[in-house]
Amino acid sequence: MPRQSRIDAPGALYHLIIRGIEQKSIFKDDADRNEFIERFESIFSETSTPLAAISSNSHQYLFTISMRGKRP
């Protein structure tokens, strides 16, 4: 059964989850991790998407963003 459509409301919070397979590291090294962070900073900045929270460890990154009336 397909999942239901997400709620699309101004100010709604969305959780972005990036996980490694079998809890394996998602980065090769610190340079790889830094490039990933720089890319996300660039995307959030260019789209004026506010980042409400971030959590990370070696095998996952969790972001919480607010769309402020924009469509995801």
pLDDT digits (tens, 9 = 90+) for 12-27: 888 889 899 998 998 8
Among residues 64, 48, 66, which one has the least CA distance to residue 56?
64
pTM listed for this prediction: 0.66
Tell me the β-bridge partners of 61: 18, 56
Question: Across residues 55-60, what is the average pLDDT?
Answer: 86
- Asked whether the CA dihedral 13, 19, 23, 28 is positive or negative, the reply is negative
Tell me the β-bridge partners of 57: 60
Supply the pLDDT for residue 44. Answer: 85
Q: Where is 14: in which H helix or E strand?
A: strand 13-19
Question: Across residues 37-60, what is the average pLDDT?
Answer: 87
Structure tokens given for 65: 């963003």
Question: Across residues 31-39, what is the average pLDDT?
Answer: 91
